[in-house]
Amino acid sequence: MDMPTRPTESLDLFVNARQQFNQALTWIESIKVGIIDYLINPKRTLHVRFPVNMDDGSIQTFHGFRVLHNRVRGPGKGGIRYHPDVTEAEVSALAAFMTWKTAVVDLPFGGGKGGVACNPKELSRSELRRITRRFVAELGDNIGPHTDIPAPDVYTDAQTMAWIYDTFDLMHPGQNNLAVVTGKPLEIGGSVGREEATARGSLYATQQLLERGIVPDMQALDGARVAVQGYGNAGATAARLFQEAGARIVAVSDSRGGICNDDGLDSEQVLAHKNETGSVVGMPESTAISNDELLVYDCDILIPAALECQIREDNATKVKARLIIEVANGPLTAVADRIVQERNIVVLPDIVANSGGVVVSYFEWVQNLENQQWDIDKVDRKLRKKMLRAVDDTVDRWTALNKRHREGFNGNRVGPTLRDAALVTAIERIATVVLQRDIWP
């Protein structure tokens, strides 16, 4: 199967997921054709609509989703997002990314994802609590410690996870329900290290990638100029950890805009400013830039850590970074992916780069099931091992695919990307288990 050099651009995240998947398929030696549809499409999609009492005495109906994409390797696993733009297509794509992520980093999970279309910035804490509790009640037994396990995502946090646990626990008395959700507060079964796990994992992955010599003339983070889009859980923590590891943070942004300073921004001071004012914008000794300018800022490493489809056909040609670390899920469209490949920009794909979050979620789940509490050294050591292994597996597969490409494999005109390599690894691992378990009946 040969692919056109560039797919047609779509801003539908599931179309992009499918384009990524189809491209990876062109690198697979053999696969049972009949299972392809099963591997790309969600196993189950739930829509729930539910009314909630608002603070002003009105009633509002909300639309929530939970997609279980695949569970052949274990229960579904994936975050819950609160955002006005949440759609079935977006949640399905994010669930597919989770299936591939848990496979490439080799966790005994499948993929799931959920969301409620709402604007948390306009909702009070008690409205968010009522939305969360009612959403969990509507999901009923479709989530559970051994079926489908939620976690935090955009605009949900440890408090949201505490409400999810509490609601599920009230509905299932008399048993240990802690493992129904991860990313909980430490006091109720959360794991040390979970909050910064996504960013810490991305740091370890980046360091290993550089050590493997994949980015020409960049063997270490020392002195690397880094721009970060999104200053939430993942982005702000990544900025701090990359800075601590020797990088210089030259630009950051959030939903209200961006700031830059070529001498370096202090990530902690930027976070303090954001906590105080609600945005990174207006930080003393920084220059304001737009989010569009941030993505094409003169830097060595670009870390998109906000939302999907941020780098597209129109700005991919202008990206100046030599390395993109996808801390967000799906920040590049499939077309942008191809453009940056043609421009020799290396992309560490989301399913590897941000997998630290689900890795420590897995550790939390194991601790909950065994009534254990690990210390930070153990969590950190095990996280680092998983991340290094995922990067090594990806780079090794990429090297092998490059060799096949030089031999003319499948007539592919363009060589493999690290994303192709990671997806080939994931798809093969899942397909193997489908066939080992065998098709019932």
The residues annotated as belonging to the active site are: 113
Which CB, 84 or 140, lies closer to ligand NAD?
84
Helix (H) or strand (E) holding 82: strand 76-83
- Give yes or no for a contact between 252 and 258, defined as CB atoms under 8 angstroms apart: yes
- How far lies 329's CA from each of 17, 29, 131, in Å? 10, 27, 24
What sections of 47-154 are H helices per DSSP? 88-104, 125-139
Cis peptide before 441 (omega within 30 of 0): yes
Which CB, 229 or 286, lies closer to ligand NAD?
229
Site string for ligand NAD, 64-103 (x = CB under 6 A): ----------------------------------------
Among 116, 218, 319, 327, binds ligand NAD (CB under 6 A): 327
Distance CA 24, CA 296 (A): 27
* CB atoms inside a 10 Å sphere around CB 132: 24
302 binding ligand NAD? (CB under 6 A) = no
What sections of 41-124 are H helices per DSSP? 88-104
154 binding ligand NAD? (CB under 6 A) = yes
357 binding ligand NAD? (CB under 6 A) = yes
Residues 375-434 that bind ligand NAD (CB under 6 A): none
Residues 6 or more apart whose Cβ sits within 8 Å of residue 54: 60, 127
- Mark the segment that binds ligand NAD (CB under 6 A) among 26-34, 135-143, 227-235, 338-346: 227-235
What sections of 330-417 are H helices per DSSP? 334-342, 350-353, 356-370, 376-406
364 binding ligand NAD? (CB under 6 A) = no
Taking Cα atoms as reference points, which of 54, 121, 106 lies closest to residue 362? Answer: 106
Which CB, 46 or 95, lies closer to ligand NAD?
95
Among 208, 253, 368, 412, binds ligand NAD (CB under 6 A): 253
Site string for ligand NAD, 15-34 (x = CB under 6 A): --------------------
Distance CA 156, CA 198 (A): 15
Place of tokens 């199967």: 1
DSSP class of residue 396 equals H
Among 191, 329, 333, 368, binds ligand NAD (CB under 6 A): 329
193 binding ligand NAD? (CB under 6 A) = no
| Number of chain positions touching ligand NAD (CB under 6 A) | 24
307 binding ligand NAD? (CB under 6 A) = yes
DSSP class of residue 353 equals H
Among 185, 232, 282, 415, binds ligand NAD (CB under 6 A): 232
235 binding ligand NAD? (CB under 6 A) = yes
Which CB, 325 or 401, lies closer to ligand NAD?
325
62 binding ligand NAD? (CB under 6 A) = no
Which residue has the CB atom at the shortest distance from ligand NAD? 232
* CB atoms inside a 10 Å sphere around CB 342: 13
What's the min distance (Å) between Cβ of 236 and ligand NAD? 7
Which CB, 273 or 416, lies closer to ligand NAD?
273
Taking Cα atoms as reference points, which of 142, 155, 237, 152 lies closest to residue 191? Answer: 152
Which three-class secondary structure state does DSSP give residue 389?
A: helix
Interface contacts to ligand NAD, rule CB under 6 A: 152-155, 198, 229-235, 253-255, 291, 305-307, 327-329, 354, 357
